[in-house]
Amino acid sequence: MKFAFVIHPTSLDDVVRYEPGAVGKGRPLIEKIMEWMPAYAAAHVTGVRTPDGRETEGWFVGATFLPEQMLALPRERVYQKILEAIRIGADLGAEIVGLGAFTGVVGDAGITLAERSPIPVTTGNSLTIAAGVKSLLRGAREMEVDLPRATAVVIGATGSIGSACVELIAPHVEHIVMVARNLTRLQRLLAELADRVPCSLSIETDVRAAVPRGGLVLTATTSTQELIEPADLQTGAVVCELSLPHDVGQRVAIERPDVLVTEGGNMRVPGNVRFERVREPGREFNNAFAPGTALACMSETMVLALENRRAHYTLGRGIDLAKVREIETLATRAGFELADMRAFDKPITAETIAAARAAAQKRRATSAERKRAAV
Ligand SMILES: NC(=O)c1ccc[n+]([C@@H]2O[C@H](COP(=O)([O-])OP(=O)(O)OC[C@H]3O[C@@H](n4cnc5c(N)ncnc54)[C@H](OP(=O)(O)O)[C@@H]3O)[C@@H](O)[C@H]2O)c1
């Protein structure tokens, strides 16, 4: 069975990557063009092959709005372009469609779109959650974080991805600070989870107040601005970034060599996956992934196609943890695994991690020395 996946540029860099002809055009012009541009089939994805010989192929179909436009334009107009993209995928032969980045966030996170779609829909959030938590815990191991005594900060905790991440991180740590802007929703989440999870929980609406409290930080927000200030991070902190567009900027990489930032939602795809531009066959579609990898939400859609699942899967903001576990099992069986660590468009090597650990040790020693001198 074949799949489609709706993509959209999450930054101006993405616009140029998808359409090199956009180089040099200013943001206002790009926004105007995108406002009126119809959805289009951007990439043909081939070569997905499981170790037991199952294969699938599919298409990335562009619903050309930037994140800010997805949030600001009338909802119906955004839905119309996403539905147009879905129909293009269905006409190409896809029997399931995934909703990438903000196309799975707008409105009720896929429910209305699923009602109006000619083919089954998933946001891909279940596998994103599984991959994100695994990735955070891998980073913690690499940075030798004492997990049972650690505090984790989950930014975007009331969201579809964030709330499920809180539940899955909870058995591993001592405390979780749940962060979002809306206090009422945070209070409701706290009341819902307090007796259900094994660690203690607190809530915070100010990202800058929350970040210094945790040695582990996971971000899954719909902010269109960078949220994390380098100075706020604990020495040796591990940051797992799931947000698209990112919440963590290059400044963290430059100013905080002692911190490990990792993009949590990347998976290695089994087989020999290729992304080819539909308009220029033979030319690679540049999506900024490491070779052989795709986002976890794309991977979820591929796994469902490989399983011949002709039914909606992840929809809405209340994530079913049973589905997170199921899709993780199905993905592993199909040969998908967590991709090597990566951040800021670069691989994270063993040397990078060793350097971050050493920088953290040095920073701790310096701060201990300063404290002794001050006494
Ligand atoms: N890496 C991947 O494979 C992958 C896959 C799917 C989605 N994503 C990305 O994951 C992110 C979250 O998606 P979702 O479906 O969970 O969205 P969602 O359900 O809309 O949740 C967004 C969360 O972010 C919070 N938030 C928004 N702006 C914030 C700010 N400025 N400061 C603090 N919190 C803020 C929201 O609460 P308040 O409104 O109360 O602040 C909410 O808790 C998106 O960026 C999406 O593109 C990544």
Query: One digit per residue, pLDDT tens: the chain, 375 residues?
Result: 999 999 999 988 888 888 888 888 888 999 999 999 999 999 999 999 999 999 999 999 999 999 999 999 999 999 999 999 999 999 999 999 999 999 999 999 999 999 999 999 999 999 999 999 999 999 999 999 999 999 999 999 999 999 999 999 999 999 999 999 999 999 999 999 999 999 999 999 999 999 999 999 999 999 999 999 999 999 999 999 999 999 999 999 999 999 999 999 999 999 999 999 999 989 999 888 999 999 999 999 999 999 999 999 999 999 999 999 999 999 999 999 999 999 998 999 999 999 999 999 999 998 888 888 887
Q: What's the DSSP call for residue 19?
A: -
CA 61, 67, 73, 75 torsion: positive or negative?
Answer: positive
Domain ranges of the chain: 2-126+267-338, 134-265+341-369
CA 124 to centroid of ligand 1, rounded, Å: 14
Ligand 1 within 6 A of CB of 317? yes
CA 156 to centroid of ligand 1, rounded, Å: 5
Ligand 1 within 6 A of CB of 262? no
State pLDDT tens for residues 7-60.
999 988 888 888 888 888 888 999 999 999 999 999 999 999 999 999 999 999
Structure confidence at residue 100 (pLDDT): 96
> Which atom of ligand 1 is found nearest the CA of 317?
19
CA 203 to centroid of ligand 1, rounded, Å: 16
Q: Is 193 helix (H, G, I), strand (E, B) or coil?
A: helix
The residue whose C-alpha atom lies closest to atom 25 belonging to ligand 1 is 156
Domain spanning 134-265+341-369, CATH class: alpha beta
Ligand 1 within 6 A of CB of 159? yes
With CA atoms as reference, report the closest residue to 220 among 281, 269, 159, 291.
Answer: 159
Ligand 1 within 6 A of CB of 165? no
- Could you list the beta-strand ranges (E) of the chain: 2-7, 40-49, 55-62, 94-99, 121-122, 151-155, 175-179, 200-204, 216-219, 238-241, 260-263, 266-268, 271-277, 293-295, 337-338, 342-343, 346-347
Structure confidence at residue 295 (pLDDT): 97
How many C-beta neighbours within 10 Å does residue 25 have? 15
Mutate to test the pocket of ligand 1, among 7, 122, 161, 165 (most ligand atoms within 8 A of CB): 161
- For residues 349 and 159, the answer to whether their CB atoms sit within 8 Å is no
Ligand 1 within 6 A of CB of 99? no
Q: CB within 8 A of 146, min separation 6: which ones?
A: none
CA 53 to centroid of ligand 1, rounded, Å: 36
Q: What distance lies between CA 120 and its chain's CA centroid?
A: 21
In DSSP terms, 303 is beta-bridged to none
Structure confidence at residue 72 (pLDDT): 94
Ligand 1 within 6 A of CB of 131? no
CA dist., res. 155 & res. 31, Å (int): 28
> Which atom of ligand 1 is found nearest the CA of 102?
47
Ligand 1 within 6 A of CB of 298? no
Backbone angles phi, psi at 95, to 5 degrees: -115, 0
CA dist., res. 55 & res. 68, Å (int): 36
Output the six-digit token pair for 201: 């929980």
In DSSP terms, 99 is beta-bridged to 6
Measure the CA angle with vertex 219, ends 213 and 224; round to 5°: 120
- For residues 230 and 239, the answer to whether their CB atoms sit within 8 Å is no
Q: CB within 8 A of 56, min separation 6: which ones?
A: 1, 2, 3, 48, 302, 305, 306
> Which atom of ligand 1 is found nearest the CA of 161?
16
Ligand 1 within 6 A of CB of 180? yes
Q: Is 97 helix (H, G, I), strand (E, B) or coil?
A: strand
> Which atom of ligand 1 is found nearest the CA of 295?
3
H or E element that contains 134: helix 125-142
Q: What distance lies between CA 213 and its chain's CA centroid?
A: 23
Ligand 1 within 6 A of CB of 314? no
Output the six-digit token pair for 181: 């802007």
With CA atoms as reference, report the closest residue to 71 among 224, 180, 207.
Answer: 224
CA dist., res. 80 & res. 60, Å (int): 17
